[in-house]
Amino acid sequence: MDVKGNELQKIWEKGKEGFGPGHRTCSGCFIPTIVRTVLGNVPDDCEPVVSIATGCLEVTSTIWPHTSFGVSCIHNAFENSASTLAGVERAYAARKKRGELKKKYKFIVFAGDGGTVDIGLQALSGMLERGHDILYVLYDNAAYSNTGMQRSGSTPYLASTTTTPAGLESTGKAQKRKDIMSIVAAHNIPYAAQANPAYLDDFIYKIKKALSYEGPKFLSVLMPCNYGWKFPSSKTYDVARLATETNFWPLYEIEGGKYKINYNPKKALPVEEYLKSHKLYAHLFKPELRKNLIAKVQEEVDKEFKVLGKK
């Protein structure tokens, strides 16, 4: 899909009405881009109703007595954004049935990876299994960023975080990233996709597709964190592009259980290019240390991309 300038402008303006300027995310952060692109794609005849988990989005957008949200937004706790909105969605449905509400609504959760793959997993699973009409958007910055870059279940293999610090003994996180897309897919929901805001056309296509379905849908969106990953704030787009051009963060969708890779780089770049674009893997590049570990990451990435292709 090729989104034209005029349409992009309209999406952006509408997104800004939903999530205004004056928020306090770090400069270069993709969270506002993600939120605005999603809200900007809500059909004009529908009103968005949002729930946010505790995390960077919440602490930067809801500093009392202000809010950056121009649409209905509820924050409850770190772990229960999915179940909170599930309750809200059912309340709206009941009032609609009684004829008290006429409008159409789109219910949307935004949550970080800690709030999704770890502490919020039970709430997410329940929401998916019960079949609520909700779009769940995971912005994945690979760690518990707002509390100081602690590892999450979504932190990738060998990344150095404040709770998996690389040093003489440790080479970073010993475990692989939790495969949240497979976990979500196991709930047999209508639509799930992995996206990257640096591939905006693809991201918009996935938002529109997701919102066209009734029932639960899920987007896993890459969110390179310049503060936590330690790269210049002007480089978020470049880091994000490298994640996908190296197949580290492939773009794919699962529609009605059918997998489709949406972007297959003609010649994938070596994963080393991505690993050296920020500091989560700086320890792998120290001369006395573990050059062979970069080859190991490459091996894993190649293997996972092959498995994805087979699916």
Q: Which residue has the tokens 């509408």?
A: 14
Residue 239 beta carbon to ligand TPP: minimum distance, rounded to whole angstroms:
16
Q: Which residue has the tokens 């936590």?
A: 228
Residue 93 beta carbon to ligand TPP: minimum distance, rounded to whole angstroms:
28
Distance, in Å, from the CA atom of 257 to the CA atom of 277, rounded to the nearest integer, reads: 34
Question: Which chain residues interact with ligand TPP by CB under 6 A?
Answer: 53-56, 78-79, 112-115, 141, 144-147, 152
Which of 80/247 has CB closer to ligand TPP?
80
Residue 1 beta carbon to ligand TPP: minimum distance, rounded to whole angstroms:
28
Distance, in Å, from the CA atom of 298 to the CA atom of 280, rounded to the nearest integer, reads: 16
Bridge-based pairing of strands 134-140 and 217-222 is parallel
Q: Which residue has the tokens 């770190």?
A: 78
> Degrees (nearest 5) of the Cα angle 161, 193, 177?
25
Q: Give the three-class secondary structure for 106.
A: strand
Residue 119 beta carbon to ligand TPP: minimum distance, rounded to whole angstroms:
6
Q: Which residue has the tokens 């004056």?
A: 22
Which of 138/271 has CB closer to ligand TPP?
138
Which of 123/301 has CB closer to ligand TPP?
123
Residue 159 beta carbon to ligand TPP: minimum distance, rounded to whole angstroms:
13
Closest residue to bound ligand TPP by CB: 112
Which of 149/301 has CB closer to ligand TPP?
149
Which of 51/298 has CB closer to ligand TPP?
51
Distance, in Å, from the CA atom of 259 to the CA atom of 80, rounded to the nearest integer, reads: 29
Which of 161/247 has CB closer to ligand TPP?
161
Residue 154 beta carbon to ligand TPP: minimum distance, rounded to whole angstroms:
8
Bridge-based pairing of strands 143-144 and 134-140 is unpaired
| Helical H segments across 105-218, by residue range | 121-130, 180-185, 200-212
Distance, in Å, from the CA atom of 37 to the CA atom of 263, rounded to the nearest integer, reads: 20
Which of 105/136 has CB closer to ligand TPP?
136
Q: Give CA 171 to chain center in angstroms.
A: 26
Residue 79 beta carbon to ligand TPP: minimum distance, rounded to whole angstroms:
6
Distance, in Å, from the CA atom of 216 to the CA atom of 53, rounded to the nearest integer, reads: 17
